[in-house]
Structure 1
């Protein structure tokens, strides 16, 4: 049995090691798992501005193209900031907190009085030319109010908001105010189903719940208006698209997931049905958004954020989405791009149907009524007298009620994700279009993470190149919103603690031509003397930029190379440092123009990301060392070292370094010194032996640990949970009177349950074992195996256990001892972590029968005494 457990444990260990080696649970697609080229910490940010106040949870932002204000909604307050500089002291504030009585009622509902029972602003948008409209959770009793933009004050008393705003601060929610009509999507209270609603003006519409529920535990992340009526040849209507994740309804033969990403649409001019679908949408349809890598078995089903990139025409609209995995304990993100034309094509495809509530949905193959269910009112329908949705036939509306789901899924425009990050959880994103020097239009994305970083990336031929990652906050906190302003050339990022403003680009960070073009930033170009912002330049034709490949254009430009000199003694170790600014660059060293091989143990060199180490320098290693940064197959010299190695240089005093980038140690010419011994130990052969020894020791430890774990698991499986078991190798002697009662009760049992010492004599009686002439016979000791017991509550640490007394070598008929126990029957009552137990030892010889009576008498005396004065306060029932 133990051998089987050992083999199973070894197999599990090998499986784990193989899984770690292969990146379990992922096999990373190397071409998509992109590394940010440049990492900038918060201390190195340029143009950094921040706004913060006594409020927290800054989650809602509103910025309009022609506005000079950035509106920010937080917990209990709304702010109007200067969009050019949010840190300016000209911020306006509307304080809007829930009353004490309302907070008390929220607590009585079982909500958290530290996070939920406040007024979190969830909706903040423009209502008309003079007013804004905002809604807050108001301690789980939502309210809404109008805001006078000019004076920045509430222009009216708050109104009921339970149909427009979710109750909680973290409930999925999205909202749009279009032509003074309020469209919202959320789960509006704890008991209700998710819903898409139009609240004003009349008629108010919502989604259907019976007999077919249109939304199944939906969690909304975004919405967008696409004005498809512009330039429409058939008089089509504008559409509103909603993005969310919901519980899956489809049946799939390839793979199954409990939740899937969706896009749904409704027509802006929808007025509901006349008899069927009264006050319900007549144009609601939904379909699935897929973002996956089937060849790697990656299926990103959780939609986290969406950004709509409007094109010159409605058909050019793109949807960028951030997707995550369904596993909550695994960090991973993917970015997929969808074309509006493919979304529209899916809504023109076949429908899905479910025969019974709760059954799996399958593709509908029956007859489709006319006009096509779920379409908007068009010019053709108007010509037939159907000017509004209330004119649609009941047959069409009944079909819409039962068939809200489409069969065709929407695939990414590039048929694969633009980006995959295994160690990052993106939370929100925004994008803009930048025209490069090559006259092409590039999409630049700004993506916030759950740890407070901002990644700037450019879309190049269907794949994202991360230009830089910026640390926005010293302490990790999630990004809650991202907004861009091309007019202010700024990106605004909100978080629980405040709002940050940064420039869209920082081209001054790149100090050479190669550094500028390697960045592949559409905002930046090399002017011949510096890296400048392309948008600010009137003559772009003279700028150097290579977004497509990031490697050409700087062949004839000069650049500065740092030059240093080093003089060292023969036998010294020398470190030549080389700092690379790019995470994508790798160092390459040359000596007098020839490449240095620093991987062979006997080469005398060691190369790493921090520099080149010359080991036990020799005179023939003198020369000009050059460190190159290799990026995009281009080698760029960074620093040169003119190294002179001589045997007769004066030795520096102990502890003094020969230079900033050189680490020297005493030569091996003096074996009596500690430094010489250290260098001898660091010789290539000794280092190799040390590595092999270390690997051997670690492997042995893994094997030992595996065996121990297997043995412990085998032993624990044999014991009963919550009991103490007693194992006896041999029963008591048949002629011994002192154990006859015990043998009668447990003659054929090797395991028994021990009760507490104070109340069960039989349990203690079973603790007697053999002792003959002071020597323990084989198997004469009974083993007490601890199980589980509650510990006694005490703030004082438990006293150390006293040592066991020595085994007596002779017996005496005397029973008169101060502690009431015979010296030949030593008993030790111990208390360890609240558990008490008694260790009893007794002679087995019949000639010592007087001691048997002494033991019985003294034991009875102890137990009688414990009725009045217990040795331990309330010993546990599970203690022995």
Structure 2
């Protein structure tokens, strides 16, 4: 129990009446950047990143690229003139490679920057490309990552400037890339640029001013000849209606075995390229998010179960996540008619993967050349609406699959905002649950983000640093079993040691977060089931002074109420605290005050105050007695 005695002057310092309008105004302003509690559409918990998980760059980086190799578990970071391998266990640099620009241009003076834009893995070798002072260049590095085995000209693999659009992908020793062929950023298309298979490129009319977002190889263990590369991009909308969005989002595919057409027709050009529109929005209202921003492909043992998580923005400054089934995407490509084509479909069907694409009949390849777009659109698995819609400006997305204590697997979306924050969102059925918001940087936006699912760590790059976020930060919910369960965080469960990384015997309720599961714990756990009773703080105040009480906000999904006798008052929110303003102490103001939070089936007293009247005579305030 704490006892505090406040004099009249001290109470005026606590809250001077003349400053009351300013106080209320500042209360409003300070809350603008803080979620209002009591809503499921905001992060449940706001937190800061733990110190000691950052690697600060020696110089400000205009551009960084991250590469994670799933098979080896290696993580690489590329910046200006350097690449380093990151040790996620020790949050340190395992080895560092410095690259210098090569070649000379007669108009170039002084040193040229080698901004790394591509990092890929070929067996034991590391393939690195960069801008090389507007003359793209690539290095193939040896197993020690310091031995430069060979180098080559990099046009079509790396952009001329880091601000230009590009992407890359390696598939069984073949390099696929999209990068401009001209210094002005034009002639941008998706190509197979190097490897054991033939170099293949796109037909010029297939896309219009594209912005390539992602490319992914979807494996078929039982049918490798039908494996395809999927390309996700947005392009200029051909609809010139002033009300139409200038961009339209697409998914395209090419066969892994495609080596172009015959010498007479379509040589070194994709014979299997098809594209379809990705729909994300509210079809019944004809309201769509048309600007694809980022894509994460979550692979499954059966390719049909592979899911595509796509992040979109809109013309009205909102963002959305739509989820697509690979089986649905393939169904569109295999069964839809070809937009603008009204004749009999030739055989084999255009876009079909064959063992030798150079032997395809002219009729099949002609349809691919002239009518590559599908008439049908690709709808999300939720069809009538996006999985998640927000006013936050998200820029990056990755998705982790986490095994919970009940041995079921749950998907957790990790979304990066343009203000340096990460939102952790649970996918449970068709409803998103926003677990938390972690602020990693308040200086700059996120440039790149990669997930190491095996180690449950998220690597995030900024202009000033690299941050490694441990996704199993369970100590944030460690106040009680109820707090741990209410978090609905698949990474964390309640055990005899408190809220810890999930183990099979841990206590969770990921499905609905109800805390009745805590009552079924073992006797060892039962002793820690509930939070410790709140500390009672005694306050001794004179009459006639203004005062306010404060309690911390443990969860922004909870509803907070102040209880005083038989009266209830709503909380006033300021930053991460819940306030009760007492304009002037009267006889009725004295007594007990409880700050109570209610969330799902859990009710608790967060903070408790006992205010007693100061019976002493104080300057400017006549004595009054409590009876």
Question: Fold-level match, TM-score > 0.5?
Answer: yes
- Which residue of the other structure, out of 429, 432, 438, is the alignment partner of 2:397? 429
Shift of 1:474: 3.5
Change in Cα spacing, 1:496 to 1:47, as seen in structure 2 (3 Å) is closer
Higher relative contact order (CA 8 A, sep 6+): 2
Q: Distance in 2 between matches of 1:629 and 1:226?
A: 47
Cα distance in 2 for partners of 1:653, 1:341 equals: 80
Question: In structure 2, what is the equivalent of residue 291 of structure 1?
Answer: 280
Cα pair 1:70 1:80 within 8 Å, conserved: yes
Q: Is the CA contact 1:39–1:468 (under 8 Å) kept in the aligned structure 2?
A: yes
State how 1:612-623 maps to structure 2 within 5 Å: 612-623=580-591
5 Å matches for 1:674-753? none
- Residue 74 in 1 paired to residue 79 in 2? yes
Comparing both structures, which one devotes a greater share of its residues to helix? 1
Question: What is the count of residue pairs matched by the alignment?
Answer: 571
Deviation at 1:464, TM superposition (A): 2.4
- SS at the partner of 1:263? strand
Offset of residue 95 of structure 1:
2.8
Distance between the aligned counterparts of 1:289 and 1:299, measured in 2?
10
Aligned to 1:559: 531
**Matches of 1:191 and 1:469, distance apart in 2:** 36
Offset, 1:436: 1.6
Residue 584, structure 1, aligned to residue 557, structure 2: yes
**Pair 1:364-2:337 in alignment:** no
Residue 249 of structure 2 is matched in structure 1 by: 261
Tell me how far apart the structure 2 counterparts of residues 443 and 347 of structure 1 sit (CA, whole Å).
Answer: 27
Q: Secondary structure at the match of 1:610?
A: strand
Task: Write the deviation string for residues 529-584 of structure 1: whole angstroms up to 9, x where unpaired.
Answer: 521110xx3xx23x321222223236643321222112233333332211112222
How far apart are residue 167 of structure 1 and its match?
Answer: 1.6
Aligned twin of 1:698: none
Q: Which residue of 1 aligns with 2:18?
A: none
Cα deviation 1:118-149 (Å, max 9, x = unaligned)? 32211111112x21111111121111110113
Match for residue 326 of structure 2? 340
Unaligned runs of 5+ in 2: 1-36, 520-528
Aligned to 2:164: 171
Q: Contact conserved, 1:131 with 1:146, CA < 8 A, in 2? A: yes
Distance in 2, Cα, partners of 1:612 & 1:450:
34
Q: Deviations over 1:234-274 (max 9, x none)?
A: x752100011110123699x973221111110000011111
Indicate if the aligned counterparts of 1:566 and 1:641 stay in contact, CA closer than 8 A: yes
Partner of 2:474: 507
- Give CA-to-partner distance per residue, 1:692-727, whole Å, 9 cap, x none: xxxxxxxxxxxxxxxxxxxxxxxxxxxxxxxxxxxx
CA deviations on 1:274-329 (whole Å, 9 max, x unpaired) are: 1221111110000011111356764211111111101121111011111112x4xx
1:119 aligns with 2:123: no
Q: Which stretch of the first structure deviates more once superposed, 610-619 or 306-315?
A: 610-619
Distance 2:303 2:117 in 1: 29
Distance 1:614 1:56, change over 3 A: closer
Judging changes above 3 Å, is the alpha-carbon distance between structure 1 residues 169 and 34 closer, same or farther for their aligned structure 2 residues? Answer: same
Structure 1: how far apart are the matches of 2:602 and 2:107?
67
Query: Which protein has the bigger strand share?
Result: 2
Name the CA shift for 1:106/1:247 in 2 (closer, same or farther; >3 Å): farther
Find the aligned partners of 2:179 and 2:320 in 1 and give their Cα distance: 24
Q: TM-score normalized by structure 1?
A: 0.61
Distance (whole Å) between structure 2 residues aligned to residue 106 and residue 550 of structure 1: 62
Q: Deviations over 1:754-813 (max 9, x none)?
A: xxxxxxxxxxxxxxxxxxxxxxxxxxxxxxxxxxxxxxxxxxxxxxxxxxxxxxxxxxxx
Asked whether the equivalents of residues 427 and 480 of structure 1 are also in contact (C-alpha less than 8 Å), the reply is: no
Q: Which residue of 309, 330, 350 maps to 2:336?
A: 350
Which residue is equivalent to 1:420?
A: 389
When residues 618 and 204 of structure 1 are mapped into structure 2, their CA distance, relative to the original with a 3 A threshold, is same
The residue number in structure 2 matching 1:397 is 365
Corresponding residue for residue 441 of structure 1? 409
Question: Is contact 1:97–1:138 with CA below 8 Å preserved after alignment?
Answer: yes
Deviations 1:814-845 (A, max 9, x none): xxxxxxxxxxxxxxxxxxxxxxxxxxxxxxxx
Q: Does 1:227 align with 2:219?
A: yes
Two-structure CA RMSD over aligned residues (Å): 2.9
2:568 to 578, 596, 617: 596
CA contact (8 A) 2:289 2:312 kept: yes
Q: Is the 8 A contact 1:300 1:334 kept in 2?
A: yes
**Could you tell me which residue of structure 2 aligns to residue 306 of structure 1?**
295
Q: Which runs of 5+ in 1 are unaligned?
A: 1-29, 108-112, 354-362, 378-386, 600-605, 655-665, 670-880
Distance 1:168 1:408 in 2: 37
Query: After superposition, what is the alpha-carbon deviation per residue over 1:77-123, rounded to whole angstroms, capped at 9, x for unaligned?
Result: 111232322335x5422233467x54x7468xxxxx99xx6322111
Within 5 Å, give how 1:147-296 maps onto structure 2: 147-156=141-150, 158-189=151-182, 190=184, 192-200=186-194, 201-209=196-204, 213-228=205-220, 230-232=221-223, 236-249=225-238, 256-274=244-262, 275-294=264-283
Decide whether aligned partners of structure 1 residues 611 and 448 sit closer, same or farther in structure 2, where only a CA change above 3 A counts: same
Contact 1:55–1:74 (Cα < 8 Å) also in 2: no
Which residue does 2:31 correspond to in 1? none
* Secondary structure of the corresponding residue to residue 470 of structure 1: strand
SS in 2 for 1:553: helix
Larger-gyration structure (1/2): 1
1:55 Cα offset (Å)? 6.1
Q: Would the alpha carbon gap of residues 236 and 147 (structure 1) be closer, same or farther in structure 2, given more than 3 Å must change?
A: closer
- Contact 1:544/1:553 (8 A) holds in 2: no
Q: Is the 8 A contact 2:596 2:605 kept in 1?
A: yes
Q: Distance in 2 between matches of 1:645 and 1:439?
A: 56
Distance 1:554 1:619 in 2: 44
* Contact kept? 2:225, 2:256, Cα under 8 Å: no
- Alpha-carbon contact 2:164-2:185 (below 8 Å) kept: no
Match in the other structure for 1:480: 447
SS of the aligned residue for 1:245 comes to strand
Secondary structure of the 1:240 match is: strand
The match for 1:785 is none
